[in-house]
Structure formats: structure tokens, C-alpha cells
């Protein structure tokens, strides 16, 4: 039974790695930026869940806020290094919108600190909404 389970997990790992490689083939800034954007969105969703749900995991809100700021830093670095443009946006406009997102991410992190110190979670909800506006400004919400 142990050999069957081990074989299953090895096969699963091999399939997972093989499935991931084509998506990353010819890794460029656009692929990387999309992966970072997905990470950003998942961190925001996790934080929203912690803020709006009575859960024993609320102390993780600070970690998710740090993850959001870290991902914003990575997006900034990617925009600086890659030739990212869209059909409707040049690099200068993209940088300006990204700067607003980075600022909103930091504001959100500060709001989470305030909330975890025992104050109203409405500051976090407002900061999440503000961050989402900056996302929508670039992605067309």
C-alpha cells in the first residue's frame, strides 16, 4: 500500500511540474506580471475573508497585508525591468498607476495594524476598497 501511495504522489508531482513548465516557457515580464497579479488578488481575498468573518485566523491579517505590500514591490520591480505595455497604456502610465497601487497597499497594511490593535475594522474594509480601485484603474474592473 505504501508503494502505491508513493508511486501516486511521485506521478502527481511529475504531472504537476510538466503542466507548469509550458506556461512558463519563454518566461517574460508579462507572464511574471500575471502570476504576481494572481498572487496579489489571492492575498486580498484572504485578507477580506479574515476581516469579514469571525475566524480564529484573524491574526494572520498582518501577514497577508505584508504579502500584499511585498507583491506590490515585486510588481514595481517587474514594471521597472520589463517592457510591459498594453494596447491602451504606455509604460509611463503603467508606472503611475502602479505607484498608486503600491501606496494603497501600504495604506492597507497600516490599516490592518490599526485594526489588530483593537480598533474598528472599517478602516481595513475602506483600505481594501481603495486598493481595489487602483487595481481597477489598470485592469478596467
User: Hey, what CATH class is 27-139 in?
Assistant: mainly alpha
Task: Of 16-25, 52-61, 86-95, 96-105, give the lowest mean pLDDT range.
Answer: 16-25
3-state secondary structure of 135: helix
Question: What grid cell was written down for 41?
Answer: 488578488
**Which three three-digit cell numbers place residue 83?**
517592457
Residue-by-residue DSSP string for 101-117: HHHHHHHHHHHHHHHHT
How many residues are given for the chain?
Answer: 141
Read off the pTM.
Answer: 0.75
- Look at phi and psi of residue 63 and say left if phi exceeds 0, alpha if psi is from -120 to 50, else beta: alpha
For the record, the C-alpha cell of 89 comes out as 497604456
* Structure confidence by residue, pLDDT tens digits, 6-65: 444 444 444 444 444 444 444 566 788 889 999 999 999 999 999 999 899 999 999 999
Provide DSSP, 12-64.
Answer: HHHHHHHHHHHHHTT--HHHHHHHHHHHHHHHHHHHHHHHHS--TTGGGHHHH
- The confidence score (pLDDT) of residue 95 equals 86
Please check whether residue 83 is in contact with residue 91, taking contact to mean a CB–CB distance below 8 angstroms: yes
Tell me how far apart the alpha carbons of residues 141 and 135 are, in angstroms, rounded to a whole number: 7
C-alpha cell belonging to residue 24:
512558463
What is the residue extent of each domain of the chain?
27-139
Amino acid at each position: 500500500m505504501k508503494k502505491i501511495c508513493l508511486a501516486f504522489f511521485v506521478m502527481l508531482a511529475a504531472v504537476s511540474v510538466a503542466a507548469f513548465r509550458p506556461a512558463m516557457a519563454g518566461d517574460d515580464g508579462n507572464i511574471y506580471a500575471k502570476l504576481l497579479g494572481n498572487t496579489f488578488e489571492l492575498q486580498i481575498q484572504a485578507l477580506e475573508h479574515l476581516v469579514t468573518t469571525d475566524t480564529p485566523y484573524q491574526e494572520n491579517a498582518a501577514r497577508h497585508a505584508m504579502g500584499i505590500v511585498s507583491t506590490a514591490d515585486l510588481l514595481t520591480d517587474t514594471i521597472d525591468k520589463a517592457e510591459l505595455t498594453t494596447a491602451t497604456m504606455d509604460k509611463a502610465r503603467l508606472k503611475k498607476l502602479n505607484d498608486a497601487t503600491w501606496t494603497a497597499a501600504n495604506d492597507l497594511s497600516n490599516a490592518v495594524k490599526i485594526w489588530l490593535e483593537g480598533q474598528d475594522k472599517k478602516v481595513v474594509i475602506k483600505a481594501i476598497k481603495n486598493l481595489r480601485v487602483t487595481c481597477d484603474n489598470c485592469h478596467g474592473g
